[in-house]
Amino acid sequence: MSRRVIATDKKLDVKVLKRLIKYYLKYNKLSLFIVFVSIAIVSLISVAGSLFTRVLIDDYIIPLTKQANPDFTPLKKVLLIMASIYLVGIVFNYLYQKILIYVTHKTLKKTRDDLFAHMQTLPIKYFDTHPHGEIMSIYTNDIDTLRQVLSQTIPSLFSSTITIISVFISMLVLSVPLTFIIIFMLFIMRKAISWIGKNSSKYFKKQQSDIAKENGYIEEMMEGIKVVKVFNYEEEAINRFEKINDSLFNSSFNANKFSTLLMPIMGNLGNISYVLTAAIGGIFAIAFNSITVGTLASFLNLNKSFNMPVIQISNQFNAIIMAMAGAERVFKLLDEESETNEGDVTLVNVRKENGKLIECDECTNIWAWKHPGRNGEDRLILLKGDVRFYDVTFGYNENQTVLKNINLYAEPGQKLAFVGATGAGKTTITNLINRFYDIQEGSITYDGIDIKLINKNDLRRSLGIVLQETNLFSGTIKDNIKYANPEATDEEVIQAAKLANADGFIRHLEHGYDTVIKSDGSPLSQGQKQLLSIARAALANSPVLILDEATSSIDSRTEKIVQSGMDKLMSGRTTFVIAHRLSTIKNSNVILVLDHGEIIERGNHESLLKEKGTYYKLYTGLLEIE
């Protein structure tokens, strides 16, 4: 966690607590109203029980001791009344506990829903700059800290507050002098809570951060376990984990070292308060006869009733600190700025009538850009796949420029290939086409329209992407292909698989298209997983394709099958290809050679070989792509 979060002051914690309570109330107003009314009734009944002690002793028990033939009927009646009141308290206690369980888990569910929904709106940059394990920790560890504060801490605080106020008023009514003893001890308790809280707060927040880092590292090692074993990195991995775990141990130890002092200190201060009250109250009752025995007994009960919620609040203090650290991280994610989608140019289906484009609802496989006009009339521009860069300069941060003055022109149906060393800017160019990132200088047009004017969802819907990493999801093979178009029919799925040369191996699986695979694609081979990625892109039927080193991780034999599927997919589409294997891009219309973010050569395969420049050296093996 950053220094800013560790140094979070008390004011910010209160702000987060208020926001958490507001979030708590947002979805459960009626239910929480019933809960808090029930809590208030239970608390007031508890106080009434303590006050009843005075009445019971002074008005019933002591008079009975003075009677030769005591009549217990009045005593029985008043005890029955009090028992009925306590029974009401039990009913309301059961009621609010049951409702509270529902409210808590409903709030947590809604929190996770909001987190996940908001996460889908975040830009790619957020995921590139935040370890996935730390993000996962928000959904698990931080949400769990909220569960305790919602189900226990907030209700306990409310109950304790009602009890403290009602008990304090009752004590003032019974005896002002004895109440001052309580106030004095309360001042000492507050000092103790403040001292312990000051020391434990920063460590609890550090603990939350360390847990997130540890989760992130464990996830990282699990994903890369093969690499760890291949390079005998186990010992170093263990050493690094021990350092992270040591940091978690230190923050957890320090946080709990102070927090464990709280309960015994507060408990003993409460006992001292009780003893002082009993001693001084006894003097008042016996020596000065200023209070009755029943009043003293009632006051001692109120003393316990007063100290107990104070101790409960102090015990909940640690839970509040942990929850505030977790809530702060949850709200920080919810407050992350969503990806802007300011474009008003949308993608629509069209049909041609008498040489004109007519927008329609049915799928015609003919697309057009719907451009709102100033006069209220929409213009339809046929989607052809003409993509152009004009003097584009870009950097992922202000201090480092990745692309410098890039100019390129992809006419409809052309195949453009990018060649260059790692870090030359090849993938960055494709990231700019789909607006995963926005450029700092220059412009990019799509069919003559600046892509900043195009709605991002529609822009990306027009682009099919096959990446080097085959991102598959848990589910059936059919579901994975339909990821590109959930409304697709089974026949359309099969046609897409055939186009990608995937239908053959799918039908040989035991359950065919209904075969269930895991998120890592197992039990499929790397080539089979890549064919599914191509089938998915084929089902999207996008007019523009981006192939980012789609064959770099498969063998030469499988590459021919995959390449055949990609060739079918690329037919008639504007295609941007990134490839290390130059044999796969020989038939490209234009090959662009990049070096340190600049285009240093451009042309087709034959013309670049004639130039005998960088591409010639790469193709003949005189120079290797690093």
> What's 170-226 look like in SS3?
HHHHHCHHHHHHHHHHHHHHHHHHHHHHHHHHHHHHHHHHHHHHHHHHHHHHHHCHH
494/473 Cα distance (integer angstroms): 19
Place of tokens 């498969």: 554
Q: Which of 539, 572, 366, 368 is nearest to 466 (CA)?
A: 539
The residues near 13 (Cβ < 8 Å, ≥ 6 apart) are 201, 320, 321, 324
Q: State how far the Cα of 130 lies from the Cα of 115, in Å rounded to an integer.
A: 15
Distance (Å, whole) CA 380 – CA 438: 25
Across 260-377, the runs of DSSP E, i.e. the strands, are 346-353, 356-359, 367-372
Amino acid at 576: F
Contact 342, 318 (CB under 8 A): no
- pLDDT value at 7 more than 60: no
What are the strands, taking DSSP E only, across 473-580? 475-476, 516-517, 544-548, 574-578
CA angle 612, 616, 622 (to 5 degrees): 110
User: What pLDDT, on a 0 to 100 scale, did the predictor assign at position 592?
Assistant: 92
**CA gyration radius for the chain?**
36
Is 169 or 17 the better-scoring residue by pLDDT?
A: 169
Q: Are 534 and 558 in contact (CB under 8 A)?
A: no
Q: How confident is the model at residue 403 (pLDDT cuts 50, 70, 90)?
A: very high
Q: Cα–Cα distance between 301 and 274 in angstroms, integer? A: 9
**Domains observed in the chain:** 3-335 (1.20.1560.10), 346-382 (no CATH), 387-620 (3.40.50.300)
CA 322 to chain centre: 17
The yes-or-no verdict on residue 2 having pLDDT over 50 is no
Report residue 309's pLDDT band, with 50, 70 and 90 as the boundaries.
Answer: confident
**Residue 349 forms beta bridges with which residues?**
367
Report the DSSP pairing between strands 590-595 and 415-420. parallel
pLDDT at 28 over 90: no
Q: Any bridge partners for residue 368, and if so which?
A: 348, 382
| 385-412: average pLDDT | 89
Distance CA 536, CA 460 (A): 14
Quote the CA–CA distance of 555 and 250 in Å, as a whole number: 49
pLDDT at 1: 35
| Tokens (6 digits) for 526 | 């790397």
What is the rounded average pLDDT of the residues 461-490? 84
Residue 227: both structure tokens together = 């690499």
- In sequence order, what are the residues at sequence separation of 6 or more whose Cβ sits closer than 8 angstroms to the Cβ of residue 272? 185
If you average pLDDT over each of 16-20, 181-185, 509-513, which comes out highest? Answer: 509-513
Q: Is the pLDDT of residue 38 over 70?
A: yes
Report the C-alpha gap between 50 and 42 in whole angstroms: 13
Beta strands per DSSP E along 468-597: 475-476, 516-517, 544-548, 574-578, 590-595
Give bridge partners of residue 599 from the DSSP assignment.
Answer: 594
- Per residue, the 3-state secondary structure of 350-382, as one string, reads EEEECCEEEECCCCCCCEEEEEECCCCCEEEEE
Count H helices and E strands in the chain, helices first: 22, 16
What is the pLDDT confidence band of residue 70, given thresholds at 50, 70 and 90?
confident
Of 242-251, 280-289, 302-311, 560-569, highest mean pLDDT: 242-251
More confident residue, 606 or 309: 606
Round to whole Å and give the CA distance between 96 and 103.
Answer: 10
Q: How far apart are CA 290 and CA 286, in angstroms?
A: 8
Q: How confident is the model at residue 9 (pLDDT cuts 50, 70, 90)?
A: very low
Which residue type does 449 have?
I
Q: Is the preceding omega at residue 177 within 30 degrees of 0, hence cis?
A: no
What is the Cα–Cα distance from 78 to 379, expressed in whole angstroms?
A: 85
Q: H or E element: which one contains 335?
A: helix 293-335
Read off the tokens for 576.
């941007």
Tens-place pLDDT, residues 488-528: 889 989 988 888 888 888 999 888 999 988 877 778 888 88
* Measured distance CA(343)–CA(573) in Å, rounded: 24
In angstroms, the Cα distances linking 36 to 59, 98, 99, 270, 447 are 34, 13, 10, 27, 61
Residue pair 490/513 in contact (Cβ under 8 Å)? The answer is: yes
449 pLDDT higher than 90: yes
> What pLDDT shows up at residue 600?
92
Q: Is 200 left (phi over 0), alpha (psi -120 to 50) or beta?
A: alpha
Q: Which of 591, 586, 540, 592 is nearest to 567 (CA)?
A: 586
- DSSP 3-state assignment of 582? helix
Mean pLDDT of the 37-48 span: 85
Cβ proximity of 442 and 524 under 8 Å: no
Closest alpha carbon to 298 in 540, 520, 54, 584 = 54
C-alpha to C-alpha distance for 204 and 319, rounded to whole angstroms? 9
User: CA-to-CA distance for 503 and 495, rounded, in angstroms?
Assistant: 8
Q: Which two tokens stand for residue 471?
A: 């991102």
Order of strands, edge to edge, in the sheet holding 378-382?
Answer: 356-359, 346-353, 367-372, 378-382
The pLDDT tens digits for 99-115 are 888 888 888 888 888 89
CA–CA dist 186, 29 (Å, integer):
33
Q: How confident is the model at residue 231 (pLDDT cuts 50, 70, 90)?
A: low
User: Is 445 a residue whose pLDDT tops 90?
Assistant: yes
Residue pLDDT, tens place only, 241-262: 888 889 888 888 887 776 677 7
Only one residue has tokens 């991102």, namely 471
Residue 388: predicted pLDDT: 93
* Predicted local distance difference test score (pLDDT) of residue 227: 67
Q: Is the pLDDT of residue 291 over 60?
A: yes
6 pLDDT more than 80: no
CA distance 475 to 517: 6
Winning range, highest mean pLDDT, from 94-103, 179-188, 520-529, 598-607: 598-607
7-to-11, 134, 160, 253, 591 alpha-carbon distances in Å: 11, 20, 29, 19, 53
Amino acid identity of 493? Answer: V
**Cβ(343)–Cβ(454) under 8 Å?**
yes
Rounded CA-CA distance 50/169 in Å is 13
What is the average per-residue pLDDT within 398-421?
A: 88
CA 198 to chain centre: 29
Are the C-beta atoms of residues 185 and 269 closer than 8 Å to each other?
Answer: yes
**Residue 444 pLDDT class (50, 70, 90 cuts):** very high
Mean pLDDT value of segment 475-498: 88
% of residues, the chain, pLDDT over 90: 11
Q: 44-48, 192-196, 455-459 — which is least confidently predicted?
A: 192-196
Pairwise CA distance, residues 621 & 614, whole Å: 10
- Kindly report, residue by residue over 569-589, the tens digit of the pLDDT: 777 788 898 877 787 788 889
Report strand pairing: 415-420 vs 574-578: parallel
